[in-house]
Amino acid sequence: MDKMIHDEFLYANVPQEEKKMLEKIPPENELSHKFSRGFNRKMKALLKYERRTPSMRRFVHRMKIAATIFLVMLSLTFGTIMSVEAYRIRFFEFITQVCEELTSIVIHSDENAGHDTLALVFPTYVPDGYSILKQTSSEYKNSIIYCNESGAEIYYLQKLSSQSEFIFDSETVEPKEIAIGTHKGYIFINKGVTQIYWYDNFNVYSLIGSLDESEIIKMAESIQK
């Protein structure tokens, strides 16, 4: 049997198959799907990016790098001035950048110059039903995963603040500034998950879990040195 597909066969059958495929597409008035705000935002960003010429893309990329370098140099310069003129007055910088759907929190401190080992601290309050599932500690980081019977988890992280960075998906949810005791922090709730980030003179902390705002703040405030 000849299994070769000839041009005559294609010309005779392809239009029929194409017609069948087009008939399966619903009429335009039936296409009532409404895309999410996040999808529309991503498409606008993609179209905006594609409209740029290659030279414009390179220019924007270089400008972002220049802005980042300027920010870092400004931080380092200010930290040096503070340490020299004010005899190492505590200098803490908490930078929050929101770009598209990613939020980056960068923390710099000169307070840990002589503290290379993390002093471990833990929450003294844990919501009912949660127990430690896994704990990992080192001289720079302390992390704990709490879990309950239904499988819900709470993530606790403590790190030295000499150089720390958190990058998380915020999807344009603005972090709200809060106070944990006398210390500054940020909290936001997205898709039922609450995230909280705060710092003191030596450490940065984070708690992430499907908890009420009051509950996760209570857990954060229970951390004592």
* Confidence band for 1, pLDDT divided at 50, 70 and 90: very low
Are 129 and 156 part of one and the same domain?
A: yes
- Mean pLDDT, all residues of the chain: 70
Q: Is residue 183 located within the same domain as residue 110? A: yes
State the pLDDT at residue 207. Answer: 92
Residue 103 resides in a domain: yes
Per the structure, the complete domain to which residue 40 belongs is given by 34-89
77 and 104 share one domain: no
Question: Of 51, 70, 89, which residue constitutes the final position of a domain?
Answer: 89
Q: Do residues 116 and 184 share a domain?
A: yes
- Same domain? For 106 and 195 the reply is yes
My answer on whether 44 and 97 are in the same domain is no
Asked if residue 19 is part of any domain, the answer here is no
Q: Which of 68, 89, 110 is the endpoint of a domain?
A: 89
Instruction: Find which of 72-86, 106-120, 172-186 is predicted with most confidence, using mean pLDDT.
Output: 172-186
97 and 205 together in one domain: yes
Angstrom CA distances, 88 to 82, 92, 107, stand at: 6, 11, 17
Tell me: do 58 and 116 sit in the same domain.
no
Whether residues 78 and 150 share a domain: the answer is: no
| 174 in a structural domain | yes
Q: Is the pLDDT of residue 110 over 70?
A: no
How sure is the predictor about 38, in pLDDT bands with cuts at 50, 70 and 90?
low
Check whether 196 has a pLDDT greater than 80.
yes
Residue bearing the bigger pLDDT, 158 or 76: 158
Instruction: Mark whether 133 and 187 lie in a shared domain.
Output: yes
pLDDT of residue 9: 63
In this structure, is residue 4 part of a structural domain?
no
Both 155 and 215 in one domain: the answer is: yes
Question: Into how many domains does the chain fold?
Answer: 2
Per-residue burial over 101-120, b = 16 or more CB atoms within 10 Å of its CB, e = otherwise: eebebbbbbbbbeeeeebee
| Any domain includes 162 | yes
pLDDT band at 92 (very low <50, low <70, confident <90, very high): very low
| CATH code assigned at 118 | 3.30.200.100
Whether 183 and 98 share a structural domain: yes
In a domain, 144, yes or no: yes
Tell me if 54 is assigned to some domain. Answer: yes
Judge whether residue 71 has pLDDT over 80: no
Tell if the pTM clears 0.75, that is, is over it.
no
Per the domain annotation, does 131 fall within a domain? yes
Higher-scoring residue by pLDDT: 195, 12:
195
